[in-house]
Structure 1
Amino acid sequence: MNETKWLTGTDGDAMLEVVADRLSPRQWLLAAAAYARRLWDFLPPGVLQQAIDCAERATEPLTPEQRAEWERKIAAAVPEAVGAAELAQRDIVKLADPDAAGQDAPVLARPNQIAPAFPLFQAASRHAANAIEWLGEAVNEAAAAVRVLFAPPNEQMLENIRPLVERALASRTRANGAANNALRLKHEGDEHADRSAGVKNKRIAESEALEIVRKIEEGRPRTEDDEFEADLKREKRERKQLARVLREIVGNAFTPPRFEPAWRTNDVVALARGIFEERAFDRMVILADALLDADCDEEAVLRHCRGTEIGAKEPPQHIRGCWVIEMILGRYEPLPAPKPGKKPKPRPLDDMFDFRPLGDDDPRFA
């Protein structure tokens, strides 16, 4: 890892190895909170969102008593949050009649009758019920991730929250997929019922309905290569996300930027404070102009505000904890110098699927 790779690379795990033994408790908390913030959109308003907001805003580590109080509030809020999410999902899939998911046969006037479209309605109801259940699971998993923010802030906090966030997001995706299938199957059922109303051979029409269900539920066939490719993409996405978070909190881990006290004019400080409080990161460009008016000539600061860092393939995704905002507000914590001769701490291997490039000193050669 060198300065260029730090500023432009996408391997967040390699970057973490360089700074893991030098991050402050607040920086660990800010990194973990950035992950929890990814869950914001599907958390019902209330305690769980407030907990993320509290963790982001904390300028000092919370006391053990404060952490325990938040853990209690989160635990108490989970049943209501899950219920609210399930209710919202139920409203989305209500046309598919989720309460009929356990119905095994159609209700008919005569036993020898056949309802050709019933397999489609039956599958729609089952998917609707799954959509509700799985979204509840996603909120439960999200709450577990939020709870991690109130453990002692250290490397373990980040290690714990990353898989929980990914699991919650995957559960939400699965729930949304089930909801889409439910509504599609209900639509197909309505159309099939109309088409088969006048046909003589109801059993053939029923077989056609079963085939429609099979195609929708199976989707595009996935091979082992597809699964492996999906794992690679997920791994790459997770590392890229961590790289963005670390750059946003640390800045340049090799060359700390210069910042003169004279640049903290009233306008600059007011803008920075407003951006932090309101998460109004669209104002970062305005902040760059205010810094220029204050005679700021530090290219790294101005480029970060404008999203034009040299070599960066994408603009930064600003978070609470952005190093420029923290520097303006007097809260930036520069990394201590690495200990002489100390090598970066290798990341523990969680499973057999580890796609990091191999080096001569890699623990996987042991």
Structure 2
Amino acid sequence: MSARTVQVTGDQPYEVVIGRNLLGELPRLLGDGVRKVLVIHPTALAATADAVREDLTAQGYEALLAEVPDAEPAKSAQVASFCWQVLGQADFTRSDAVIGLGGGATTDLAGFVASTWLRGVKVVHVPTTLLAMVDAAIGGKTGINTVEGKNLVGTFYPPAGVLCDLAALASMPRHDYVAGLGEVVKCGFIADPRILELVEAHGPEITDPERAASSEVLAELVERSVAVKARVVGEDLKEAGLREILNYGHTLGHAIEHVERYSWRHGAAVSVGMVYAAELARLAGRLDEAVVARHRSILTGLGLPTAYRGDRWDQLHAAMRRDKKTRGDLLRFVVLDDVARPSRLEGPDPSLLVAAYAEISEGVAPVRGISLG
């Protein structure tokens, strides 16, 4: 397949290149004047990172590696400090660059490190998971976690470019790959119904990572999902308004991740969060039951969860109150009025929150036909 390119507009425009065997594009995205490059990568991708380093060295760069923990443990102040130490000891200047090679946790960390070193050096992301390709590596959000919650420390810092090499998906564990489809489905529900149609029509083709890695359907899904995010962040980089729609399903999803100490995959948690938000909108009288049922049908068909433990509400509610969309004591949710018609629900009655949770609670029979709106 020929490479597909999505332009992200805004004050600092950049390209997202989607295709296969794309490492040759790195020098172009790094741009002129870069001499040193730090490749931040997880332990699991040590061999890949070494190949990238050798390729960059052959092209005249002074390339170094910084190996960080796999997944969410990488997103800590201690790991960021280690990366700053590497940059300092190698005398990185403002004209040098960072590459984030890995999943969403790695690109979040790499972006944060780049944005804070000398108040900002160039960063290029090379996401290797579906989740990172359609979500974490796009849009310029960076962050690390604290004991109190996920992504509470971070910056808005657009990359110089993003390379989505679909060939990397072939070796992904199936559960991790399928979890990434949760964010693809989210893009469909909030902005692009064609995504939902493709997922419904090509389920078997896109749920097998080895088969999907060479699939034109997956390439189109990634391109469409990136285009949704690019369009939103191009208009609202710093989440002043429109960008909040990208958090559909994330209020409860992030709370589940926190309560589970990040042992749940992000896309799986967001899958449950989307069904919760859909039930919340239905109970408020804003969303038809057919759209709620479509949430469950699509997500279940992909093998994603749509329910969670019924005995965790108090912990989840406390975690949601620390969500970035919360204003004071006012909980705010992204909901749908219909497919591709996102809106906000601010300060819903506590009884509505509990009733919606009962609809997704394992071991609790849902009460159909109720409307509290």
**Please, what TM-score do these two structures have when normalized by structure 2?**
0.23
Q: Which protein has the larger Cα radius of gyration, Structure 1 or Structure 2?
A: 1
State the structure with bigger RCO (CA 8 A, min sep 6), 1 or 2. Answer: 1
Higher helix share goes to which structure?
A: 1
- Which structure shows the bigger proportion of residues in strand conformation? 2
